[in-house]
A and B are shown apart, each in its own frame.
Chain A
Amino acid sequence: MITTLLSGLALGAVYTLVAVGYNLTWLTTRTVNFAQGGFMVAGTFLTVWCQHRGYPIALTLLFLAAAGATVAAVEFTFAIRPILNRSDHTELVTTVGVLTVIQGVILLLSKEDVLRVRFFGSSRELLDVLGGKVSPAEIWLIFLAVVISLSTHWWTRHTRLGLAASGLSDDREAAMLLGVNTGRFSYVAFMASGALGFALGPFVGPKTFAVVALAALLSIKGFVVLAVGGVGSNLGALVGGLAVGCIEVFVARNLESTWQNGAVFLVFISVMLLRPQGLFGEQRERVV
């Protein structure tokens, strides 16, 4: 029971962290960046690359964050900015395109389909927690999901910069008139989401391995979590992510394992029907 719960929480933590990345770009540009799952997977492959070269964890994290910020800045410049003011949601297509490019580049550069990512911390393989078994990397994932989602939630609600970012999401033109540098905000938000995605590689990799095909799966599950929790709410991302992770493992454990995706999408559809703005999203009146 506890092992199953911890597995579900760790899995949900990965989804939460993808959804938090989505929210970073949503708040400033109203873009759901489907490349976020690709950022995370690219981070796992680069982690292995750093480990082979014997880089310490601090240098690895710095390198990953810099690489992620650069990739995201390139994405924003060439795939998002040119279409930012269009109202037809073309960015959904271009970000999926960026995800495909990231997967293609990894496939070209990596000689192996699957790589093991060593955890940088404790050499103990599994820990006993409340009678259940959990790996140190999974504990880190749960911890990071809670800390990152709650701190970004607090940041968007209680700091000047966070409120300005939220303002961008509400009305980009009004924010510009109020003196908010929307261009810089958008760039920084994209770079932050890229840095976050890549820098999570050393934590996600020990659980998922470095696998290219995982990128699309994480992007989809992250989107489900985003919709269930409420777009723009990092608290929603945390609750939604952990719930989705737990639903998956408990359905697999106690019902039929092949129903786990079906159960998640049942929850997704139910939330969309009963509370379209998501569990923690805000309902907005449409202005005509």
Chain B
Amino acid sequence: MNVRPVTRHRLAAITLASVALVSACGGSGNDANKSSSVPLRVLFVGGLTGPLSTTAIAVERGAKASVEHLNSQGGVKGRKIEFTSKDDQSDPTRAVTLLQGELTGNAKPDLVIAGVGSNEALAMAPLLARNKVVGIASAVSPKLNDPGLYPYFFSEAFPASDQVKAAAVYLEGLGNVKKVALVAPSDALGDGTAANFAAAFTGGTIATQVFRFPTDAVDFTPILQKTAAYKPDWIYMEGSGAQAPILLASREKAGATGIKTIAGATASSQPLLKLGKGQQLTNLYATLTPNAAYIEPAKRNEEFNAFFAAIRSQGALATSPYVYSVGWDNISIWAKALARVEGDVTGEKVKTAMESEPAKASSAQFPVYSGQYSTTNHMHGGHPEDFTFAQLQEYKDDMLVIKPE
């Protein structure tokens, strides 16, 4: 066989070609020096079908709207943003499989919106840490706020413990409340709420009692009757999905509508004015997250107007604008951090930029919550004044108008 000898020139050419090939193939995702023609990739993994679909779809739509808004302004750091969605049906195992597939693919995401439930986020957070990809979600589990364990995960949410604490601050502030009853489901949500409830009222002057209902019951009248028999000054009730309207109906049947009642943040995320009727809404105080209560047009800032126009252009709203605004915020918080990064964009640099985010201006509607990320805190929220407890009157501009006291 006639083999041509490798000359010095030929060796140099092969070396150069190899270097060029490696440069072209390698460095996927965040750690490459990207030109402005390479788009930034955002991946949403969430339950677009399944039990949390209404929330997941709204968050996804809010995020999409934010991406379109940023792209219409030229993108971030001159790069357009590409948005992809994957449906995990709110199943954490499926979420991990889908995310793994994307992380091992050719185009690694620059940001992952890790679902809307804590279980999905908890499943995806270790993968994000391993791959140094920034993730964000509206998950409320305090376990997720562990920058040591999940350094690349951030939550745009108000921790569940602080939601109850905000209610405790509100009730203590009224000055005339002696007894408060908690009505909560016998599941993880109820366990968390009961623990937070006990912690929030410990050391205060208000006596408390907890009443739990089975999650699969279709009538909570007996539980509300027991609660009313305790004669509390206020009731704090929490429930997800169908539990919220069943609580309203049962509260009326149990004759407990005379007792002022706070619907917890999860229960209040349901369209209470549509699911409840007449007497069921009497003395009912919803926990209103930022951007849920009606904002006068004059008080809406430029970003809020852009957000509102964008989500409305997608069709009728299926839930509170607040849920959409969380998706919008997921993108805009990351984009603002990205804009602060100098030089190449890497997951590590974006994470550091997010940890040094500036304080929210008092007049701003975004970020939704007034908290700040830091190296030790990866969860927004924590300020009781972020929440309003009020009776609901009507929907206006898809927002909830508060009934004057």
Interface residues of A (CB under 8 A from B): 3-4, 7, 10-11, 14, 107-108, 111-114, 116, 125-126, 133-135, 207-209, 211, 213-214, 217, 248-250, 252-253, 257-258, 260-261
Contacts and interface: CB of A to CB of B under 8 A. Distances in A.
Looking at B221, B225, B275, the one whose CB has the most chain A CB atoms below 10 A away is: B221
Given A114-B241, A125-B278, A208-B218, A133 B223 contact: no
A253 B229 CA distance: 11
Interface string B50-93: 11111000000000000000000000000000000000000000
A3 B253 contact: yes
A250 B244 CA distance: 22
Contact of A209 (B53, B211, B246, B318): B246
9 contacts: A3-B253, A10-B219, A108-B49, A114-B245, A217-B218, A252-B217, A253-B226, A257-B186, A257-B226
B156 interface: no
B216 interface: yes
Nearest to B89: A107
Interface in B175-222: 186, 211-214, 216-219, 221-222
Contact of A11 (B212, B219, B252, B274): B219
Interface residues of B, number: 39
Contacts of A260: 214, 217
Contacts of B270: 114
B255 A133 contact: yes
Contacts of B255: 3, 133
Contacts, number: 104
A14 to B, nearest CB: 8
Where chain A touches its partner, the secondary structure class is helix
Contacts of B274: 116
B249 to A, nearest CB: 8
A101 to B, nearest CB: 14
Contacts of A213: 51, 241-242
Nearest to A211: B242
Given A114-B241, A252-B222, A126 B253 contact: yes
B119 interface: no
Contacts of B245: 114, 116, 209
Contact of A113 (B218, B242, B276): B242
B217 A248 contact: yes
A185 B274 CA distance: 44
Given A107-B49, A108-B49, A217 B253 contact: no
B103 interface: no
B252 A249 contact: no
A108 B50 CA distance: 8
Interface in B306-332: 318
A108 B212 CA distance: 32
